[in-house]
Structures are given as C-alpha cells and as structure tokens.
Amino acid sequence: MTYEVPVAPGESADIEETIQLDGEVWPMWEVFVRARRGISHVHIGSLHAPDAETALENARDVYTRRGEGVSVWVVPSDQVHAFEPDAAEEYVEANEKVYRLATAYDIPEEVGQM
C-alpha cells in the first residue's frame, strides 16, 4: 500500500499543514528508555502529556508495552539543548583530534590485546 496522499483528478495537490488552534496544547516530552541493566538510557521517541507524572505513565504505556525497558526518563522537549555539527565548526574540529582515538596508535601484535 502507499501512504502517499492520492490527488484526485481536478483536486489541488497542495494540502494545508497548519491551522490555528483555540485551546492550549499539551507540551511534548522526550522519552529515554534503559532496555536492561548495564546499558544507558536511549532516546526512543516522544509524546504529549500535561505534566511529568502523566508523561511517565504514558511513556510506560506507549513505549514499553512489550517489556522493552527497566527504567524510563522523560524530559520536556523544550528543555533539550542541542548542538548541531552543521551549525558549529568548532565541534567538527574537535572531532579531528584523532589522537583521542584508540585506533590512532599502532601496538605491535606480539604485545597482545590492549
């Protein structure tokens, strides 16, 4: 099947994508799940909720219905501060310090695993 929106003959292909809303919208939360003990929380998706308690409840229902997690964090989406490589040259430069990487050093094979 397709999720492309079929355009009927004679219909405009442009559809509206925004509209003015009257009421207030529940804020958005980012959800992080620790899948099992010993590994980090990983971003798994987002959802809407009026407050942190509800966001946690919702996260449990929405993202861990199949027992996917042992621990869940929710963070208000507008509290996430991001650093995007495209917008920040110095970040890219930091990545160029190859001497930070273990692979930058040749260790003779006879030394063994290091």
Number of residues that bind another protein (CB under 8 A): 42
Place of tokens 């160029």: 96
For position 13 contacting another protein by CB under 8 A, the verdict is: yes
Q: Which stretch in 3-11, 33-41, 88-96, 102-110 sits in contact with another protein by CB under 8 A?
A: 3-11
CA distances, 55 to each of 22, 39, 40, 60, 69 (Å): 23, 22, 20, 9, 15
Residue 64 and residue 73 in contact, taking contact as beta carbons nearer than 8 Å: no
Contact positions with another protein (CB under 8 A) in 76-105: 82, 84, 86-87
Contact positions with another protein (CB under 8 A) in 36-55: 45-51, 53-54
